[in-house]
Structure 1
Amino acid sequence: MQKTLSVLLVATLTLSACSGWRESRVNPTNWFGSSTPAPAPTQTLANDPNALVPKQREGAGLFSRPDPVDNSVAIARVDELRIDPTPGGAIILVTGVAARQGAYDARLVRVESEENQKNGVLEYTFRVSYPATATNQGTERSRQVLDAINVSQDDLQGIRLVRVVGQENALESRRR
């Protein structure tokens, strides 16, 4: 009984000493100010597809973080390119060999260029990330990396060639 009473007394005194909590930025009720009138928008947003998407502000917000840095590089060699048709488009499956073991975060990054659009080429770069510490080279089988991407029927309109690029080579597949 005496321990409970003393803990309750200490908690009460500690809580009463926190009178600055009301004005603190940590207090969730202080995160937003009171509402103020704003002028009505002059242009109509009826045809804007992103009308409800807020505009991004850099460095604003309580929990904002800087944009992540991309440390990925092109894979050493692309071994296989397979395109499997699906009812909604196609799946592009790519297998490659990394320069050393430990490659992670494999992804196909689309290369956008005016020349590719004009020629009907869908080009991807096969990129991977490596650990910061040195790793063994190992066998070719232990360095094998696989990634796939789903491409919609709309993205395939007018495409005659699919190309995947690595550091040493590139593989292409033409439409029949």
Structure 2
Amino acid sequence: MKTRLVIALSTAALLAGCGWSDSSLNPFSWFRSEPEVRVAATATAIPADPRPLVAQVLTVGVERTTSGAILTAIGLPPTQGYYDAELVALNDGRPLDGVLRYEFRASPPPAPRPAGTQPSREISAAQALSANLLAGVARIEVIAATNRRAASR
């Protein structure tokens, strides 16, 4: 009986110490909340892709896969030496009125290069497209500086 009384009084004294908000024994004071600070939203500019559009899109193809499709394109830059070709999605990669649009971009060579023959300038790029993305798409367009080509269902 005396042991229970000692434990009860010790527990009561310990809990009484938790009543002070500055006490390190008070578990509610271990993490302090700070007042919410509101920050005004500012528009952050997404840097534009510095790579120019290729001069022409020669071909566009869509090959079905088990998970959707692969969009391929062959482009023609103005000279030899273009690299880092990519099909860059427009409209955040979402179809607009059933049309999915991509720009064909590539990095120019670091130094001037000869034009050369058409086959020596051709570059290709590809983009995987999921089945979910293609569900509402009737047409896919690839845009170049002087033309655009499309594949339709």
Q: Which bracket does the TM-score occupy, shorter chain normalised?
A: 0.5 to 0.7
Structure 1 gap ranges (5+): 1-36, 42-66
After superposition, the CA RMSD in angstroms is 2.5
Structure 2 gap ranges (5+): 1-29, 35-45
Instruction: State the match for 1:165 in structure 2.
Output: 143
SS in 2 for 1:167: coil
Counting only pairs closer than 5 Å after superposition, residues 55-94 of structure 1 correspond to structure 2 as: 70-94=49-73
Residue 140 (1) aligns with residue 118 (2): yes
Residue 130 (1) aligns with residue 112 (2): no
SS in 1 for 2:110: coil
Q: Deviations over 1:27-74 (max 9, x none)?
A: xxxxxxxxxx75469xxxxxxxxxxxxxxxxxxxxxxxxx98842000
Inter-partner Cα distance in structure 1 for 2:113 and 2:124: 19
SS in 1 for 2:120: helix
Q: TM-score, normalized by length of structure 1?
A: 0.58
Task: Please say if residues 95 and 137 of structure 2, whose CA atoms lie closer than 8 Å, have aligned partners that are also in contact.
Answer: no
Instruction: State the match for 2:83 in structure 1.
Output: 104
Inter-partner Cα distance in structure 2 for 1:149 and 1:77: 18
Inter-partner Cα distance in structure 2 for 1:161 and 1:75: 21
Task: Give the percent of matched residue pairs that are identical in Structure 1 and Structure 2.
Answer: 31
Instruction: State the match for 2:41 in structure 1.
Output: none
Instruction: State the match for 2:127 in structure 1.
Output: 149
Q: How many residues align?
A: 112
Determine which structure has greater relative contact order: mean sequence separation of CA pairs < 8 Å that are 6+ residues apart, divided by chain length: 2
Q: TM-score, normalized by length of structure 2?
A: 0.66
- Which structure would you say has the larger Rg? 2
* 2:98 maps to amino acid: G
Q: CA deviation at 1:120?
A: 0.8
Inter-partner Cα distance in structure 2 for 1:38 and 1:72: 49
Q: CA deviation at 1:152?
A: 0.4
Q: CA deviation at 1:105?
A: 0.5
Q: CA deviation at 1:174?
A: 1.1
Inter-partner Cα distance in structure 2 for 1:80 and 1:120: 21
Instruction: State the match for 2:17 in structure 1.
Output: none
Q: CA deviation at 1:121?
A: 0.6
Runs of 4+ deviating beyond 3 Å: 37-41, 67-70
